[in-house]
Amino acid sequence: MAAAEELGERVGISRACRALGVPRSSLYRARQPKPATSVRWRPTRALSAAERAKVRAVLNSERFWDSAPREAYATLLDEGQYLCHWRTMYRILAEHDEVHERRNQR
């Protein structure tokens, strides 16, 4: 990009980009300042750390260690217990790299 900028001062941006094989849009995009990363907004209804730990403990319990989160979700709903949505269960397990066979294989 620096070479295209230098050459662009002498022969024009369009010609410089064509000669170097650089898309003009990439050059213009490189000129723009990088946006500051912001802290991601967290919904007010999001599960707390304790609630997430409880869901993880239930999913890793001996009762559910050989079933998928969706099965555990359905079983808990049949019993009248709602912890969170089944997709949230998958997200919680994914945070801890547990979206695989969770029971001890030995």
Cα 98 to the chain's mean position, in Å?
16
Q: Is the pLDDT of residue 35 over 90?
A: no
Task: Give the residue-averaged pLDDT of 7-24.
Answer: 90
Residue given tokens 């079933």 in the structure block: 67
Task: Give the Cα separation of 17 and 95 in Å (integer).
Answer: 44
Query: Within 13 Å, how many C-alpha atoms sit on residue 79's CB side?
Result: 9
Question: What's the pLDDT score for residue 102?
Answer: 60
Task: Give the Cα separation of 46 and 20 in Å (integer).
Answer: 50
Name the pTM for this structure.
0.59
Closest CA to 52 of 10, 16, 88, 97: 88
Task: Give the Cα separation of 68 and 105 in Å (integer).
Answer: 16
Instruction: Write the pLDDT tens digit of every residue in 36-88.
Output: 888 888 889 999 999 999 999 999 999 998 889 999 999 999 999 999 999 99
> In this structure, what token pair is assigned to residue 96?
């801890």
